[in-house]
Chains A and B, each alone.
Chain A
Amino acid sequence: MTRFEVNGQTVEVAAEATVPLLDVLRNKLDLKGSRYGCGLEQCGSCMVLLDGEPVYACSRELGSVAGRRVTTIEGLSTHPLIAAFLDEQAGQCGYCLSGIVVSAAALLGRNPAPSRTEIVTALDRHLCRCGAHTRILRAVERAALALREGATA
């Protein structure tokens, strides 16, 4: 039994410690927003936050998150990034987006005014096959602005 926190709720999962966190999230906790793309830490579709830092859920073993705090895309559903991505229509098929939003949320958490280069660097481990990159970059900039304006309002 592994106990950890997901999106603010404590959960206990009966599974081997070596089971990928991604499988646990998707199949045991019904959190399907974290997606399988490669299982190789190469595409970023499975990105989640672990104690606020982006990690690949596909390769992260359940045992290693015991007692720690996991945030998935479902836990970011009210984050200004979501509205910004919709405003920019930043996506085509959308498969890459949840992982990208997770990384972008981590970036904005530590840097409320990232430059374009800093955003690119934060997202560069994510693949988007449809070519929505420029829209995605604009969406992150828009969300950063919204967060800053919200903070000063």
Chain B
Amino acid sequence: MSETLPLSVVNNRRLDRWISFDADRSVHLAVGKVELGQGIITALSQIAAEELDVALGRVRILSGDTADAPDEGSTTSSQSIEVSGASVRLIAAEVRARVLDRLAQRLNCSPDELSVEDGAFMRAGALTGHDYWNFAHEADLAREADGNAPRKPHTAYRIVGTNAARLDLPAKLTGAAFIHDMARPDMLHARILRQPGRGARLAALDEAAIRRAAGGAFRIVRVGDFVAFVGEDETVVQRAAASGQEHATWENARRFTPDQQEAASLVGQPSIERVVGEPPSPPDAPEVVRATYSRPFVAHAALAPSCALAEYRDGIISVWSHTQGVYPLRQSLANVLGLERERIIVRHAQGAGCYGHNGADDVALDAALIAMQVPDHCIRVQWRREEEFAFEPFSTAMSISLRAALDADGRPADWMAEIWAGTHVSRPSSGGNMLAAEALPTPAPEPKPQDPPEANGGGGTRNAVPLYDIPVKRVLHHLVTRMPVRTSAMRGLGALPNVFAMESFIDELAELAGQDPVAYRLAMMSEPRARRVIETVARLANWSRGPAGTGRGLGMGFSRYKNRAAYAAVVVELDVVEEIKLRRVWCAADAGLVINPDGARNQLEGGIIHAASITLKEQVTLGAEGVTSLDWDSYPILRFSEVPEITTELIAAPEYPSLGMGECTFGPTAAAIGNAVAHGLGTRIRAMPLTRERIMEALLPG
């Protein structure tokens, strides 16, 4: 056995679990990573087609299915190309090799004499009459992969590295393509009366008033304080739910104060401490430069509300979900429903763009709970817009204080980051945390606060350690244990706030040293691939900064995501008077071997726009009774009229392994905007979002 089998292969050794050959001359590829809008099913299909030597159009992919596809955990952390891609490559190469070995025995020749053209087997350039479809069964594909089959060298690639069109895009453009569009026999629509929060008790429900508002037939399913409106007519149940909250009386609901929506409120709260790198330096160390940066709570704010379907028939519950992980969700459902895993099937169905742990798992439990109460029907639950905004898990607010002692050249000799944040990962699979489970007669226990370990890239500490050549690096992370809102994984975890802070601070130190920010960075960066993206983006942007405070700002940001995935450097040009107008963004990224360059660029661009939106506009707001940013007016995101021109350059580095890149522009973009605003204004704003109010405050001190 090869010592370096990818995790997905270790967990799913059998070749035929991944690849089989169907009678219509297609290749069935089953994977555990799922399409979240990032283009993964296209890229994985390209990898399989490449190693098998079949046309891309022959690959039919099944992704995320506990009955019929391998267990690859969750689709997170820019791991799909790195882990699933490496797995598919290994499996496909081994399938090809085993089938050709078998054919070589049959033809009494050396496997080296054989080749494959679009699935047909050739010997010395002539057709053998054999192909995958009539011969693969002769090889034993029910065996475990050993990982020893040679993979193609990148120089031989014909499909990998090309801009294959997204396989899923045509249907999404024109018709039914999403979980929301699924229709099943005996389908009933459902909406939820959401428990305001853990511990709240439903004291009274004015059913008559709700029925008057709904104007049609539906039933109320109630299990403890979990309440659902279920009926044949979606309009009716939607009306019932829309009126439900005002006709419900909750007791023991938690109250909030407005300051809890700010990152500063986390500082000093009870926390679990973790040190990365050297031990923390004393906060009152003399002769250091210091600054504090922050980002508030932000929402995934998916364009579609969360949705799930579930049906309970003959003792088996089938669930369709846009979850990031069908197997972890199956385990979570088993825990809450008290069913054996074998009686639960979870199949992935596509939702709107997913950037992390959103409401997908919660709504799946909603649907499953109702299905158990209403068997032999398909229960389709769709959240309401305000429910989505109020109850999805948010990305935690973060406060980051940086301190640096400088050397004689004005460069940091001793770097210290002190971080206050809630958890960045509280997925159901890591211990409870599903909304409806909190409303059951015996509520699930409150999840224990935890954050990903450094081995997984950390959460609050993600990208907190500078990649720069700094002799002493210290990080003190405070994982705040009691949070005002539920927080969990969102694109990049702590990387965006940490890189915003770090790269802003680097600019501040460069200014103190009287040096150009790009030159300052390069002077303390010895990693060649990091240098190359910084130098490339500077060239793309024609980097040259005039004086600060003119209203026109230019700024740069850099990071290597997780300090081990893709490298990205971003330059932003903007105008800042009272408001910020992004003009242009340039980005250079090195993601090693790129499977689909256009898909990769799409991810770079999307990450830039998403990060710009967070940096400039986004904040979850709280009132006394909970979240008050409940629609797109109170939670604005970047619009067409606010999007800059974007230029990206992918560094050609096919000789290196693929590096996850879906999140790599996130931190650098936030930082580049912060630095450009500081350059344009002549004064720095260290708290996101960089709103008009914050700019006015900065311009009118005192």
Contacts and interface: CB of A to CB of B under 8 A. Distances in A.
Interface string B588-604: 00000000001100100
A132 B180 CA distance: 21
A92 B602 contact: yes
Contacts of A20: 235
- Residue of B354, B385, B645 contacting most chain A CB atoms (<10 Å): B385
A89 B632 contact: no
Interface in B586-624: 598-599, 602, 605-610, 613
Q: How large is the interface on B (under 10, 10 to 19, 20 to 34, 35 or more residues)?
A: 35 or more
Contact of B352 (A85, A93, A123, A124): A93
Interface stretch (B140-148, B170-178, B203-211): B170-178
Given A40-B632, A97-B173, A134-B605, A92 B353 contact: yes
Interface in B125-178: 163, 165-166, 168-170, 172-178
A129 B633 CA distance: 14
B304 interface: yes
A129 B639 contact: no
B304 A19 contact: no
A100 B637 CA distance: 17
Interface stretch (A29-37, A105-113, A142-150): A29-37
A121 B657 CA distance: 42
A127 B165 contact: no
Interface string A32-76: 110111111011010000000000000000000000000001101
Nearest to B599: A89
Q: Secondary structure at chain B's binding surface: helix, strand, loop or mixed?
A: loop
B155 to A, nearest CB: 26
A129 B384 contact: no
Interface stretch (B31-39, B55-63, B259-267): B31-39
Given A20-B235, A86-B169, A129-B610, A39 B174 contact: no
A86 B631 contact: no
A40 B605 contact: no
Contact of B173 (A19, A37, A101, A124): A101
Contacts of A86: 165, 169-170, 173
Contacts of A101: 173
A127 B301 CA distance: 11
B173 A92 contact: no
Nearest to A58: B385
B605 A135 contact: yes
B527 interface: no
B302 interface: yes
Nearest to A76: B174
Contacts, number: 161
Interface string B333-368: 000000000000000001111110000000000000
A136 B643 CA distance: 12
A40 B37 contact: no
B641 interface: yes
Contacts of B303: 37, 43, 45, 93, 95-96, 127-129
B353 A42 contact: no
Contacts of A19: 235
A36 B180 contact: yes
Quick one: which of A23, A38, A97 has the most chain B CB within 10 A? Answer: A38
B610 A42 contact: no
A89 B164 CA distance: 10
Q: Interface size bucket, A side?
A: 35 or more
Contacts of A6: none
Nearest to A119: B640
A9 interface: no
A95 B178 contact: yes
Given A33-B174, A35-B304, A131 B605 contact: yes
A120 interface: yes
Contacts of A45: 303-304
B645 to A, nearest CB: 7
A82 B171 CA distance: 11
B176 A33 contact: yes
A133 B172 contact: no
Contact of A89 (B181, B353, B598, B631): B598
Given A16-B215, A43-B632, A133 B173 contact: no
A152 interface: no
B234 interface: yes
B172 A137 contact: no
Contacts of A128: 303, 640
Contacts of B235: 15, 19-20, 23, 27
A48 to B, nearest CB: 14
B595 to A, nearest CB: 14
A95 B172 contact: yes
B196 interface: no
Which one of A19, A95, A128 has the greatest number of beta carbons of chain B within 10 Å? A95
Contact of B384 (A39, A96, A132): A39
A40 B632 CA distance: 9
Contact of B641 (A97, A98, A121, A134): A121
Nearest to A77: B174
B632 A42 contact: yes
A146 to B, nearest CB: 16
A123 B351 CA distance: 22
27 contacts: A19-B235, A30-B183, A32-B176, A35-B178, A35-B180, A36-B382, A37-B304, A39-B238, A73-B173, A74-B175, A85-B169, A89-B165, A92-B353, A92-B606, A93-B351, A93-B352, A94-B169, A95-B37, A101-B173, A126-B640, A127-B639, A129-B303, A129-B355, A131-B606, A131-B613, A131-B643, A134-B605
Query: 3 closest Cβ contacts across the A-B interface?
Result: A93-B37, A94-B172, A131-B609
Interface of A: 15-16, 19-20, 23, 26-27, 30, 32-33, 35-40, 42-43, 45, 73-74, 76-77, 82, 85-86, 89, 91-98, 101, 120-121, 123-124, 126-137
Given A37-B304, A95-B352, A131-B607, 18 more contacts: A23-B235, A33-B176, A35-B304, A36-B305, A38-B631, A39-B238, A74-B174, A91-B173, A93-B350, A94-B173, A95-B178, A95-B351, A98-B175, A101-B173, A129-B303, A130-B37, A132-B602, A134-B645
